[in-house]
Amino acid sequence: MDITATTEWTALHRHARDQQAAGVDLAGLFDADPDRAGHCTSTVGDLVVDWSRHLVNDGTVELLLALADRAGVSERIAAMLSGEPVNVTEGRPVLHTALRAPAGEAVVVGGVDVAPAIAAERDRTGAFVRALLAGERRGATGLPIRTVVNLGIGGSQLGPAMAHQALAAFRSGGVECRFVSNIDPAALASGLDGLDPAETLFIVVSKGFATAETLANARAARAWAASVLGSEAASRHFVAVTANRDAAIEFGIEPDDVFATWDWVGGRFSMGSAAGLAVMAAIGEENFAAMLAGMRAVDEHVAAGPAASVPMLLGLLSVWYRNFWGFQMRAVVPYSERLRLFPVWLQQVIMESNGKRVRLDGSPVGCETAEVVWGGVGTDSQHSFHQLLHQGTTAVPTDFIVMARPDADVAGAAGAAERHEALVANCFAQAAALAFGSPAAEDDSHRELPGNRPSTVILAAELTPPVLGQLVALYEHQTVVQGAVWGINSFDQFGVELGKTLADAILDDLRAGAAEAGTSHDPSTRSLIAHYRRLREL
Protein backbone atom coordinates (compact mmCIF):
# COMPACT_ATOMS: atom_id res chain seq x y z
CA MET A 1 0.00 0.00 0.00
CA ASP A 2 1.18 3.52 -0.80
CA ILE A 3 0.44 5.31 2.45
CA THR A 4 0.74 8.68 0.72
CA ALA A 5 -2.32 7.84 -1.41
CA THR A 6 -4.62 7.35 1.58
CA THR A 7 -7.23 9.72 2.93
CA GLU A 8 -5.43 9.69 6.28
CA TRP A 9 -2.25 11.04 4.67
CA THR A 10 -4.24 13.71 2.84
CA ALA A 11 -5.99 14.71 6.04
CA LEU A 12 -2.66 15.16 7.81
CA HIS A 13 -1.32 17.26 4.94
CA ARG A 14 -4.37 19.50 5.14
CA HIS A 15 -4.07 19.72 8.90
CA ALA A 16 -0.38 20.66 8.67
CA ARG A 17 -1.10 23.37 6.10
CA ASP A 18 -3.87 24.76 8.27
CA GLN A 19 -1.63 24.77 11.33
CA GLN A 20 1.21 26.44 9.49
CA ALA A 21 -1.07 29.02 7.88
CA ALA A 22 -2.53 29.85 11.27
CA GLY A 23 0.94 30.32 12.70
CA VAL A 24 0.66 27.61 15.31
CA ASP A 25 3.09 28.31 18.11
CA LEU A 26 4.04 26.55 21.28
CA ALA A 27 3.35 29.50 23.54
CA GLY A 28 -0.20 29.64 22.18
CA LEU A 29 -0.68 25.91 22.72
CA PHE A 30 0.31 26.27 26.37
CA ASP A 31 -1.94 29.32 26.78
CA ALA A 32 -4.88 27.36 25.37
CA ASP A 33 -4.26 24.45 27.73
CA PRO A 34 -2.81 25.43 31.13
CA ASP A 35 -2.33 21.74 31.97
CA ARG A 36 -0.67 20.89 28.65
CA ALA A 37 2.50 19.70 30.39
CA GLY A 38 0.50 17.21 32.40
CA HIS A 39 -1.55 16.06 29.41
CA CYS A 40 1.56 15.67 27.27
CA THR A 41 3.82 13.81 29.68
CA SER A 42 3.93 10.03 29.47
CA THR A 43 5.77 7.32 31.36
CA VAL A 44 7.24 4.01 30.29
CA GLY A 45 9.15 1.97 32.81
CA ASP A 46 11.32 4.40 34.76
CA LEU A 47 11.30 7.03 32.01
CA VAL A 48 9.31 10.26 32.17
CA VAL A 49 8.75 11.55 28.63
CA ASP A 50 7.68 15.19 28.28
CA TRP A 51 6.45 15.76 24.72
CA SER A 52 4.50 18.93 25.50
CA ARG A 53 6.86 21.11 23.45
CA HIS A 54 5.78 19.65 20.12
CA LEU A 55 3.79 21.37 17.40
CA VAL A 56 0.75 19.19 17.89
CA ASN A 57 -2.69 19.38 19.43
CA ASP A 58 -5.21 16.68 20.23
CA GLY A 59 -6.41 16.73 16.64
CA THR A 60 -2.88 16.15 15.36
CA VAL A 61 -2.40 13.13 17.59
CA GLU A 62 -5.75 11.68 16.50
CA LEU A 63 -4.83 12.09 12.83
CA LEU A 64 -1.39 10.53 13.38
CA LEU A 65 -2.93 7.54 15.15
CA ALA A 66 -5.43 7.18 12.31
CA LEU A 67 -2.51 7.13 9.86
CA ALA A 68 -0.77 4.45 11.92
CA ASP A 69 -3.97 2.42 11.96
CA ARG A 70 -4.31 2.68 8.19
CA ALA A 71 -0.66 1.67 7.73
CA GLY A 72 -1.17 -1.36 9.98
CA VAL A 73 1.58 -0.35 12.39
CA SER A 74 0.18 -2.29 15.35
CA GLU A 75 -0.23 -5.37 13.20
CA ARG A 76 3.34 -5.14 11.95
CA ILE A 77 4.64 -4.79 15.51
CA ALA A 78 2.58 -7.81 16.55
CA ALA A 79 3.94 -9.78 13.59
CA MET A 80 7.48 -8.87 14.57
CA LEU A 81 6.96 -9.86 18.21
CA SER A 82 5.38 -13.18 17.22
CA GLY A 83 8.27 -14.26 15.00
CA GLU A 84 6.77 -13.79 11.55
CA PRO A 85 9.34 -13.15 8.78
CA VAL A 86 8.85 -9.37 8.69
CA ASN A 87 12.31 -8.95 7.13
CA VAL A 88 10.80 -9.82 3.77
CA THR A 89 13.87 -9.22 1.60
CA GLU A 90 15.84 -11.83 3.51
CA GLY A 91 12.90 -14.00 4.57
CA ARG A 92 13.74 -13.74 8.25
CA PRO A 93 11.98 -13.01 11.52
CA VAL A 94 13.19 -10.04 13.57
CA LEU A 95 13.38 -11.24 17.14
CA HIS A 96 15.84 -9.15 19.12
CA THR A 97 13.00 -8.83 21.64
CA ALA A 98 13.27 -12.58 22.24
CA LEU A 99 16.76 -12.06 23.64
CA ARG A 100 15.26 -10.33 26.65
CA ALA A 101 12.06 -12.39 26.95
CA PRO A 102 11.35 -14.03 30.33
CA ALA A 103 12.83 -17.47 30.84
CA GLY A 104 10.45 -20.20 29.74
CA GLU A 105 8.53 -18.06 27.26
CA ALA A 106 8.26 -19.84 23.89
CA VAL A 107 9.90 -18.14 20.90
CA VAL A 108 8.92 -19.87 17.67
CA VAL A 109 10.99 -19.43 14.49
CA GLY A 110 10.00 -21.54 11.51
CA GLY A 111 7.96 -23.84 13.70
CA VAL A 112 10.82 -24.38 16.16
CA ASP A 113 10.92 -23.03 19.70
CA VAL A 114 14.31 -21.31 19.93
CA ALA A 115 13.84 -20.24 23.55
CA PRO A 116 15.96 -23.18 24.80
CA ALA A 117 18.81 -22.12 22.49
CA ILE A 118 18.59 -18.54 23.77
CA ALA A 119 18.59 -19.76 27.38
CA ALA A 120 21.54 -22.05 26.68
CA GLU A 121 23.62 -19.17 25.31
CA ARG A 122 22.65 -17.00 28.29
CA ASP A 123 23.92 -19.76 30.56
CA ARG A 124 27.14 -20.19 28.53
CA THR A 125 27.95 -16.49 28.43
CA GLY A 126 27.11 -16.13 32.11
CA ALA A 127 29.34 -19.04 33.04
CA PHE A 128 32.15 -17.67 30.88
CA VAL A 129 31.97 -14.25 32.52
CA ARG A 130 31.84 -15.74 36.01
CA ALA A 131 34.95 -17.77 35.25
CA LEU A 132 36.68 -14.76 33.73
CA LEU A 133 35.97 -12.51 36.70
CA ALA A 134 36.88 -15.22 39.18
CA GLY A 135 40.25 -15.70 37.49
CA GLU A 136 39.37 -19.26 36.48
CA ARG A 137 39.48 -18.52 32.75
CA ARG A 138 43.15 -17.71 32.27
CA GLY A 139 45.50 -17.09 29.41
CA ALA A 140 47.91 -19.61 27.87
CA THR A 141 50.65 -18.82 30.38
CA GLY A 142 48.36 -19.22 33.38
CA LEU A 143 48.02 -15.50 34.08
CA PRO A 144 44.51 -14.12 34.69
CA ILE A 145 42.86 -12.05 31.98
CA ARG A 146 43.02 -8.35 32.85
CA THR A 147 41.80 -6.78 29.58
CA VAL A 148 39.11 -7.76 27.09
CA VAL A 149 39.32 -6.25 23.60
CA ASN A 150 36.10 -6.34 21.56
CA LEU A 151 36.79 -6.58 17.82
CA GLY A 152 33.70 -5.72 15.80
CA ILE A 153 32.13 -2.98 13.74
CA GLY A 154 28.66 -1.51 13.27
CA GLY A 155 26.15 -3.32 15.42
CA SER A 156 28.93 -5.53 16.77
CA GLN A 157 30.58 -2.49 18.34
CA LEU A 158 28.33 0.59 18.54
CA GLY A 159 25.80 -0.76 21.03
CA PRO A 160 28.26 -2.60 23.29
CA ALA A 161 30.71 0.34 23.35
CA MET A 162 27.87 2.72 24.16
CA ALA A 163 26.55 0.50 26.97
CA HIS A 164 30.03 -0.06 28.37
CA GLN A 165 30.60 3.67 28.66
CA ALA A 166 27.08 4.42 29.89
CA LEU A 167 27.29 1.91 32.73
CA ALA A 168 30.76 2.83 33.96
CA ALA A 169 29.38 3.21 37.49
CA PHE A 170 28.42 -0.48 37.46
CA ARG A 171 31.67 -1.97 36.21
CA SER A 172 32.90 -4.76 38.44
CA GLY A 173 36.55 -3.77 38.15
CA GLY A 174 37.54 -7.33 37.38
CA VAL A 175 38.63 -6.65 33.80
CA GLU A 176 39.19 -3.59 31.64
CA CYS A 177 37.29 -3.52 28.34
CA ARG A 178 38.35 -1.86 25.11
CA PHE A 179 36.62 -1.65 21.74
CA VAL A 180 38.29 -1.61 18.32
CA SER A 181 36.30 -1.26 15.12
CA ASN A 182 38.16 0.85 12.56
CA ILE A 183 40.45 -0.88 10.07
CA ASP A 184 42.81 2.08 10.40
CA PRO A 185 45.98 0.58 11.97
CA ALA A 186 45.97 3.42 14.50
CA ALA A 187 42.73 2.07 16.00
CA LEU A 188 44.17 -1.33 16.89
CA ALA A 189 47.45 0.21 17.98
CA SER A 190 45.55 2.42 20.41
CA GLY A 191 43.44 -0.52 21.58
CA LEU A 192 46.53 -2.59 22.33
CA ASP A 193 48.58 0.19 23.86
CA GLY A 194 50.12 -0.88 27.14
CA LEU A 195 48.63 -4.40 27.09
CA ASP A 196 50.34 -7.69 27.76
CA PRO A 197 49.24 -10.45 25.34
CA ALA A 198 49.42 -12.97 28.19
CA GLU A 199 46.69 -11.04 30.06
CA THR A 200 44.53 -10.02 27.09
CA LEU A 201 41.43 -11.71 25.64
CA PHE A 202 39.94 -10.80 22.26
CA ILE A 203 36.23 -11.15 21.52
CA VAL A 204 35.71 -11.30 17.74
CA VAL A 205 32.09 -10.28 17.07
CA SER A 206 30.83 -10.82 13.53
CA LYS A 207 27.48 -12.37 12.71
CA GLY A 208 28.65 -13.90 9.43
CA PHE A 209 32.31 -14.02 10.46
CA ALA A 210 33.11 -12.36 7.14
CA THR A 211 33.23 -8.65 7.96
CA ALA A 212 36.42 -7.39 6.31
CA GLU A 213 37.36 -4.79 8.92
CA THR A 214 36.77 -7.12 11.86
CA LEU A 215 38.69 -10.03 10.37
CA ALA A 216 41.60 -7.79 9.36
CA ASN A 217 41.85 -6.53 12.93
CA ALA A 218 41.44 -10.05 14.30
CA ARG A 219 44.30 -11.35 12.13
CA ALA A 220 46.51 -8.44 13.22
CA ALA A 221 45.61 -9.00 16.87
CA ARG A 222 46.40 -12.70 16.56
CA ALA A 223 49.80 -11.89 15.04
CA TRP A 224 50.44 -9.49 17.94
CA ALA A 225 49.57 -12.15 20.50
CA ALA A 226 51.48 -14.89 18.66
CA SER A 227 54.61 -12.76 18.49
CA VAL A 228 54.88 -13.13 22.26
CA LEU A 229 52.97 -16.29 23.09
CA GLY A 230 53.42 -18.38 19.95
CA SER A 231 50.76 -19.31 17.41
CA GLU A 232 49.24 -22.23 19.28
CA ALA A 233 49.03 -20.43 22.62
CA ALA A 234 47.53 -17.32 21.03
CA SER A 235 44.32 -19.18 20.21
CA ARG A 236 43.61 -19.42 23.94
CA HIS A 237 43.23 -15.64 23.89
CA PHE A 238 40.40 -15.50 21.33
CA VAL A 239 36.67 -16.16 21.57
CA ALA A 240 34.01 -15.44 18.96
CA VAL A 241 30.40 -14.35 18.78
CA THR A 242 28.89 -15.36 15.46
CA ALA A 243 26.12 -17.14 13.58
CA ASN A 244 28.81 -18.82 11.45
CA ARG A 245 30.34 -21.25 13.88
CA ASP A 246 32.34 -23.14 11.25
CA ALA A 247 34.09 -20.00 9.99
CA ALA A 248 35.11 -19.05 13.54
CA ILE A 249 36.54 -22.52 14.15
CA GLU A 250 38.38 -22.38 10.83
CA PHE A 251 39.89 -19.07 11.95
CA GLY A 252 41.40 -20.94 14.86
CA ILE A 253 38.97 -20.37 17.71
CA GLU A 254 38.24 -23.36 19.92
CA PRO A 255 34.69 -24.74 19.48
CA ASP A 256 33.88 -24.22 23.16
CA ASP A 257 34.85 -20.56 22.79
CA VAL A 258 32.36 -19.81 20.00
CA PHE A 259 29.18 -18.14 21.27
CA ALA A 260 26.06 -18.03 19.14
CA THR A 261 23.98 -15.30 17.70
CA TRP A 262 21.32 -15.89 15.07
CA ASP A 263 20.36 -14.59 11.64
CA TRP A 264 17.04 -13.40 13.04
CA VAL A 265 18.86 -10.88 15.24
CA GLY A 266 19.98 -7.83 13.29
CA GLY A 267 23.42 -6.52 14.20
CA ARG A 268 22.17 -3.10 15.28
CA PHE A 269 19.65 -4.79 17.59
CA SER A 270 22.01 -7.47 18.92
CA MET A 271 23.38 -5.95 22.12
CA GLY A 272 21.18 -8.22 24.25
CA SER A 273 22.76 -11.32 22.72
CA ALA A 274 26.25 -12.70 23.18
CA ALA A 275 27.33 -9.69 21.08
CA GLY A 276 27.19 -7.87 24.43
CA LEU A 277 29.69 -10.28 26.00
CA ALA A 278 32.24 -7.52 26.63
CA VAL A 279 29.56 -5.47 28.39
CA MET A 280 28.68 -8.42 30.58
CA ALA A 281 32.35 -8.91 31.38
CA ALA A 282 32.56 -5.28 32.46
CA ILE A 283 29.38 -4.96 34.52
CA GLY A 284 28.75 -8.54 35.55
CA GLU A 285 26.01 -11.03 34.80
CA GLU A 286 23.48 -9.56 37.23
CA ASN A 287 23.71 -6.02 35.90
CA PHE A 288 23.55 -7.28 32.32
CA ALA A 289 20.36 -9.15 33.19
CA ALA A 290 18.97 -5.94 34.72
CA MET A 291 19.66 -4.11 31.45
CA LEU A 292 17.77 -6.80 29.55
CA ALA A 293 14.91 -6.47 32.04
CA GLY A 294 14.77 -2.76 31.24
CA MET A 295 14.48 -3.55 27.55
CA ARG A 296 11.80 -6.12 28.30
CA ALA A 297 9.75 -3.56 30.25
CA VAL A 298 9.41 -1.44 27.11
CA ASP A 299 8.74 -4.52 24.95
CA GLU A 300 5.87 -5.47 27.24
CA HIS A 301 4.57 -1.89 27.26
CA VAL A 302 4.46 -1.96 23.45
CA ALA A 303 2.98 -5.45 23.24
CA ALA A 304 0.21 -4.57 25.71
CA GLY A 305 -1.16 -1.85 23.44
CA PRO A 306 0.94 -0.71 20.49
CA ALA A 307 -1.41 2.11 19.52
CA ALA A 308 -1.25 3.62 23.01
CA SER A 309 2.46 3.12 23.58
CA VAL A 310 5.02 5.85 24.09
CA PRO A 311 7.25 4.56 21.24
CA MET A 312 4.23 4.74 18.92
CA LEU A 313 3.67 8.39 19.82
CA LEU A 314 7.32 9.35 19.49
CA GLY A 315 7.71 7.49 16.21
CA LEU A 316 4.64 9.24 14.80
CA LEU A 317 5.96 12.63 15.90
CA SER A 318 9.05 11.95 13.79
CA VAL A 319 6.81 11.10 10.83
CA TRP A 320 4.86 14.32 11.44
CA TYR A 321 7.96 16.47 11.18
CA ARG A 322 9.69 14.50 8.42
CA ASN A 323 6.73 14.29 6.07
CA PHE A 324 4.42 17.15 6.93
CA TRP A 325 6.76 19.88 8.11
CA GLY A 326 9.74 19.05 5.93
CA PHE A 327 12.19 18.81 8.83
CA GLN A 328 15.07 16.57 7.73
CA MET A 329 16.95 16.01 10.98
CA ARG A 330 16.69 15.05 14.60
CA ALA A 331 19.27 16.05 17.20
CA VAL A 332 19.78 13.85 20.26
CA VAL A 333 21.45 15.55 23.21
CA PRO A 334 22.03 13.47 26.35
CA TYR A 335 22.89 15.58 29.38
CA SER A 336 25.02 12.73 30.66
CA GLU A 337 28.73 12.43 29.99
CA ARG A 338 28.46 8.66 29.98
CA LEU A 339 25.77 8.71 27.27
CA ARG A 340 28.20 10.45 24.94
CA LEU A 341 28.05 7.54 22.49
CA PHE A 342 24.25 7.27 22.57
CA PRO A 343 23.66 9.52 19.52
CA VAL A 344 26.30 7.57 17.59
CA TRP A 345 24.59 4.27 18.38
CA LEU A 346 21.23 5.78 17.47
CA GLN A 347 22.49 6.92 14.07
CA GLN A 348 22.84 3.31 13.03
CA VAL A 349 19.56 2.20 14.57
CA ILE A 350 17.53 4.83 12.73
CA MET A 351 19.45 5.59 9.55
CA GLU A 352 20.54 2.06 8.68
CA SER A 353 17.05 0.79 9.47
CA ASN A 354 14.97 3.40 7.70
CA GLY A 355 17.29 4.91 5.10
CA LYS A 356 15.30 3.17 2.35
CA ARG A 357 13.78 4.34 -0.95
CA VAL A 358 11.49 1.42 -1.83
CA ARG A 359 8.53 -0.12 -0.09
CA LEU A 360 8.17 -3.74 0.96
CA ASP A 361 6.93 -4.68 -2.50
CA GLY A 362 9.92 -3.05 -4.19
CA SER A 363 8.02 -0.03 -5.53
CA PRO A 364 9.37 3.49 -4.88
CA VAL A 365 8.24 5.22 -1.72
CA GLY A 366 6.11 8.28 -2.24
CA CYS A 367 7.56 10.31 0.62
CA GLU A 368 10.72 11.08 2.55
CA THR A 369 11.89 8.37 4.92
CA ALA A 370 14.57 8.34 7.63
CA GLU A 371 15.56 11.53 9.36
CA VAL A 372 19.23 12.42 9.67
CA VAL A 373 20.24 11.78 13.29
CA TRP A 374 23.09 13.62 14.94
CA GLY A 375 23.92 15.10 18.31
CA GLY A 376 26.34 15.40 21.16
CA VAL A 377 26.54 15.53 24.89
CA GLY A 378 25.29 18.52 26.90
CA THR A 379 26.59 20.93 28.11
CA ASP A 380 29.43 20.64 25.59
CA SER A 381 26.98 20.83 22.70
CA GLN A 382 25.64 24.17 23.94
CA HIS A 383 29.03 25.62 23.01
CA SER A 384 29.06 23.77 19.71
CA PHE A 385 25.91 23.36 17.62
CA HIS A 386 23.12 24.83 19.74
CA GLN A 387 23.59 28.14 17.96
CA LEU A 388 22.12 26.47 14.88
CA LEU A 389 19.31 24.92 16.92
CA HIS A 390 18.25 28.30 18.29
CA GLN A 391 18.87 30.76 15.45
CA GLY A 392 19.67 28.73 12.35
CA THR A 393 17.45 28.66 9.29
CA THR A 394 16.80 24.94 9.73
CA ALA A 395 14.48 23.73 12.47
CA VAL A 396 15.76 20.56 14.13
CA PRO A 397 13.48 18.66 16.52
CA THR A 398 15.62 17.71 19.50
CA ASP A 399 15.56 14.95 22.09
CA PHE A 400 17.05 15.84 25.46
CA ILE A 401 17.94 13.00 27.87
CA VAL A 402 18.78 13.76 31.49
CA MET A 403 18.96 12.06 34.89
CA ALA A 404 17.72 13.46 38.19
CA ARG A 405 20.74 12.16 40.11
CA PRO A 406 24.44 11.96 39.24
CA ASP A 407 26.00 8.59 38.49
CA ALA A 408 26.32 6.50 41.63
CA ASP A 409 30.10 6.29 41.58
CA VAL A 410 30.58 10.08 41.47
CA ALA A 411 27.63 11.17 43.60
CA GLY A 412 29.77 11.50 46.69
CA ALA A 413 32.43 13.68 45.08
CA ALA A 414 32.80 17.20 46.41
CA GLY A 415 30.24 19.48 44.80
CA ALA A 416 28.79 16.69 42.65
CA ALA A 417 25.18 17.37 43.65
CA GLU A 418 25.48 21.07 42.91
CA ARG A 419 27.17 20.52 39.55
CA HIS A 420 24.58 17.94 38.59
CA GLU A 421 21.77 20.35 39.39
CA ALA A 422 23.48 22.89 37.12
CA LEU A 423 23.57 20.21 34.41
CA VAL A 424 19.84 19.55 34.79
CA ALA A 425 19.08 23.29 34.80
CA ASN A 426 20.96 23.69 31.54
CA CYS A 427 19.01 20.85 29.95
CA PHE A 428 15.63 22.26 30.97
CA ALA A 429 16.72 25.75 29.91
CA GLN A 430 17.68 24.60 26.43
CA ALA A 431 14.29 22.95 25.90
CA ALA A 432 12.52 26.09 27.14
CA ALA A 433 14.61 28.41 24.99
CA LEU A 434 14.01 26.31 21.89
CA ALA A 435 10.28 26.34 22.53
CA PHE A 436 9.66 29.92 23.57
CA GLY A 437 12.72 31.86 22.41
CA SER A 438 13.20 35.51 23.25
CA PRO A 439 12.21 38.71 21.44
CA ALA A 440 14.66 41.14 19.93
CA ALA A 441 16.04 43.71 22.34
CA GLU A 442 15.64 47.29 21.13
CA ASP A 443 15.13 46.18 17.54
CA ASP A 444 18.36 44.18 17.62
CA SER A 445 17.36 41.20 15.50
CA HIS A 446 20.74 39.57 16.08
CA ARG A 447 19.65 38.76 19.62
CA GLU A 448 16.23 37.42 18.72
CA LEU A 449 15.56 33.72 19.24
CA PRO A 450 12.40 32.79 17.36
CA GLY A 451 11.51 29.78 19.47
CA ASN A 452 8.73 27.47 18.32
CA ARG A 453 11.26 24.69 17.84
CA PRO A 454 10.07 21.30 19.08
CA SER A 455 11.78 19.03 21.56
CA THR A 456 11.24 16.02 23.79
CA VAL A 457 12.71 15.74 27.29
CA ILE A 458 13.32 12.22 28.63
CA LEU A 459 14.00 12.12 32.36
CA ALA A 460 14.90 9.26 34.69
CA ALA A 461 16.10 9.08 38.27
CA GLU A 462 19.57 7.71 37.54
CA LEU A 463 21.52 6.05 34.74
CA THR A 464 21.24 2.40 35.80
CA PRO A 465 21.27 -0.83 33.76
CA PRO A 466 17.43 -1.00 33.63
CA VAL A 467 17.18 2.67 32.60
CA LEU A 468 19.72 2.21 29.82
CA GLY A 469 17.82 -0.85 28.62
CA GLN A 470 14.60 1.16 28.57
CA LEU A 471 16.24 3.97 26.55
CA VAL A 472 17.57 1.47 24.03
CA ALA A 473 14.23 -0.26 23.56
CA LEU A 474 12.36 3.06 23.46
CA TYR A 475 14.32 4.11 20.38
CA GLU A 476 14.32 0.65 18.79
CA HIS A 477 10.52 0.58 18.83
CA GLN A 478 10.24 4.16 17.54
CA THR A 479 12.30 3.07 14.56
CA VAL A 480 9.98 0.14 13.86
CA VAL A 481 6.96 2.46 14.04
CA GLN A 482 8.46 4.85 11.48
CA GLY A 483 9.33 2.06 9.06
CA ALA A 484 5.87 0.53 9.38
CA VAL A 485 4.19 3.84 8.51
CA TRP A 486 6.37 4.27 5.43
CA GLY A 487 5.86 0.64 4.43
CA ILE A 488 9.59 -0.08 4.18
CA ASN A 489 11.78 -2.89 5.47
CA SER A 490 13.57 -1.56 8.53
CA PHE A 491 15.60 -4.73 8.96
CA ASP A 492 17.92 -5.12 5.96
CA GLN A 493 20.90 -2.99 4.95
CA PHE A 494 21.77 -3.67 1.33
CA GLY A 495 22.93 -0.08 0.96
CA VAL A 496 26.20 -0.91 2.71
CA GLU A 497 27.09 -3.80 0.40
CA LEU A 498 28.03 -2.02 -2.86
CA GLY A 499 30.81 -0.03 -1.22
CA LYS A 500 32.28 -3.23 0.21
CA THR A 501 32.28 -4.88 -3.23
CA LEU A 502 33.88 -1.87 -4.88
CA ALA A 503 36.47 -1.63 -2.11
CA ASP A 504 37.62 -5.20 -2.81
CA ALA A 505 38.17 -4.42 -6.49
CA ILE A 506 39.93 -1.13 -5.73
CA LEU A 507 42.15 -2.80 -3.14
CA ASP A 508 43.39 -5.23 -5.78
CA ASP A 509 44.49 -2.28 -7.90
CA LEU A 510 46.01 -0.39 -5.00
CA ARG A 511 48.21 -3.40 -4.31
CA ALA A 512 49.06 -3.97 -7.96
CA GLY A 513 51.98 -2.42 -9.81
CA ALA A 514 51.43 0.45 -12.24
CA ALA A 515 51.50 -1.88 -15.23
CA GLU A 516 48.75 -3.99 -13.70
CA ALA A 517 46.30 -1.18 -13.07
CA GLY A 518 42.70 -2.10 -13.81
CA THR A 519 40.53 -0.11 -16.18
CA SER A 520 37.14 -1.15 -14.82
CA HIS A 521 36.84 1.80 -12.46
CA ASP A 522 35.27 5.14 -13.20
CA PRO A 523 37.64 7.93 -14.34
CA SER A 524 37.68 9.67 -10.97
CA THR A 525 38.56 6.48 -9.10
CA ARG A 526 41.32 5.68 -11.62
CA SER A 527 42.73 9.17 -11.10
CA LEU A 528 42.68 8.76 -7.32
CA ILE A 529 44.46 5.40 -7.57
CA ALA A 530 47.17 7.05 -9.62
CA HIS A 531 47.56 9.88 -7.11
CA TYR A 532 47.66 7.35 -4.28
CA ARG A 533 50.49 5.42 -5.91
CA ARG A 534 52.45 8.60 -6.48
CA LEU A 535 51.99 9.84 -2.92
CA ARG A 536 52.76 6.45 -1.44
CA GLU A 537 56.18 6.52 -3.08
CA LEU A 538 57.15 10.01 -1.89
The pLDDT of residue 103: 81
The rounded Cα 286 to chain-centroid distance in angstroms is 23
Average pLDDT, the chain: 95
Give the Cα separation of 244 and 261 in Å (integer). Answer: 9
**Residue among 277, 197, 208, 200 nearest 248 (CA):** 208
**Could you tell me if 353 and 477 lie in one domain?**
yes
**Could you tell me if 158 and 253 lie in one domain?**
yes
**Residue 519 carries which DSSP code?**
S
Q: Label the pairing between strands 47-50 and 455-460.
A: antiparallel
Asked if the peptide bond before residue 242 counts as cis, ω within 30 degrees of 0, the response is no
**Could you tell me if 470 and 331 lie in one domain?**
yes
**Residue among 488, 352, 494, 493 nearest 76 (CA):** 488
The predicted model gives 388-394 an average pLDDT of 96
**Could you tell me if 488 and 499 lie in one domain?**
no
The pLDDT of residue 533: 87
In terms of Cβ atoms closer than 10 Å to its own Cβ (0-12, 13-18, 19+), residue 195 is middle
Beta bridge partners, 329, equal: 372
The predicted model gives 457-475 an average pLDDT of 98
Is residue 538 predicted with pLDDT exceeding 80?
A: no
Active site includes 84? no
Domain assignment present for residue 91? The answer is no
**Could you tell me if 214 and 198 lie in one domain?**
yes
**Residue among 20, 55, 22 nearest 36 (CA):** 55
Give the Cα separation of 416 and 404 in Å (integer). Answer: 12
**Residue among 264, 267, 240 nearest 254 (CA):** 240
- Please report which confidence band the pLDDT of residue 441 belongs to, taking 50, 70 and 90 as the band edges: low
Tell which of 288, 321, 338 closes a domain: 288
**Could you tell me if 480 and 500 lie in one domain?**
no
Beta bridge partners, 238, equal: 202
**Could you tell me if 377 and 414 lie in one domain?**
yes
H-type alpha helices, 167-253: 185-192, 212-229, 231-234, 245-251
The pLDDT of residue 92: 94
The predicted model gives 274-280 an average pLDDT of 97
Tell which of 288, 320, 342 closes a domain: 288
Is residue 513 predicted with pLDDT exceeding 70?
A: no
Residue type, 507: L
Domain assignment present for residue 127? The answer is yes
Tell which of 222, 255, 288 closes a domain: 288
The domain that holds 284 is classified in CATH as 3.40.50.10490
> Per-residue pLDDT tens for 141-158?
999 999 999 999 999 999
Domain assignment present for residue 79? The answer is no
**Residue among 411, 382, 422, 414 nearest 398 (CA):** 382
Active site includes 390? no
Domain assignment present for residue 302? The answer is no
H/E element, 124: helix 115-133
Q: Give the largest CA-CA distance in the chain.
A: 77
> Per-residue pLDDT tens for 186-211?
999 999 999 999 999 999 999 999 99
- Please report which confidence band the pLDDT of residue 463 belongs to, taking 50, 70 and 90 as the band edges: very high
Residue 237 contacts residue 252 (beta carbons within 8 Å): no
The predicted model gives 95-120 an average pLDDT of 89
**Could you tell me if 37 and 133 lie in one domain?**
no
Range of the domain at 53: 3-71+309-439+450-492
pTM reported for the whole predicted model:
0.96
Active-site hit among 383, 446, 516, 537: 383
Is residue 518 predicted with pLDDT exceeding 80?
A: no
Domain assignment present for residue 367? The answer is yes
> Per-residue pLDDT tens for 113-141?
999 999 999 999 999 999 999 999 999 99
The predicted model gives 278-296 an average pLDDT of 97
**Could you tell me if 261 and 147 lie in one domain?**
yes
- Please report which confidence band the pLDDT of residue 515 belongs to, taking 50, 70 and 90 as the band edges: very low
**Could you tell me if 487 and 503 lie in one domain?**
no
**Could you tell me if 390 and 241 lie in one domain?**
no
Domain assignment present for residue 299? The answer is no
Residue 454 contacts residue 321 (beta carbons within 8 Å): yes
The pLDDT of residue 48: 98
Domain assignment present for residue 99? The answer is no
Residue 390 contacts residue 434 (beta carbons within 8 Å): yes
> Per-residue pLDDT tens for 36-90?
999 999 999 999 999 999 999 999 999 999 999 999 999 999 999 999 999 999 9
Active-site hit among 254, 286, 500, 531: 500
> Per-residue pLDDT tens for 315-362?
999 999 999 999 999 999 999 999 999 999 999 999 999 999 999 999
Active-site hit among 121, 213, 285, 352: 352
**Could you tell me if 246 and 344 lie in one domain?**
no
Active site includes 383? yes
Domain assignment present for residue 279? The answer is yes
Four-point Cα dihedral 32, 36, 40, 46, nearest 10: 170
In terms of Cβ atoms closer than 10 Å to its own Cβ (0-12, 13-18, 19+), residue 433 is middle
The pLDDT of residue 439: 82
Q: How many domains does the chain have?
A: 3
The pLDDT of residue 517: 55
Residue 42 contacts residue 51 (beta carbons within 8 Å): yes
What percent of the chain clears pLDDT 70, i.e. is strictly above it?
98
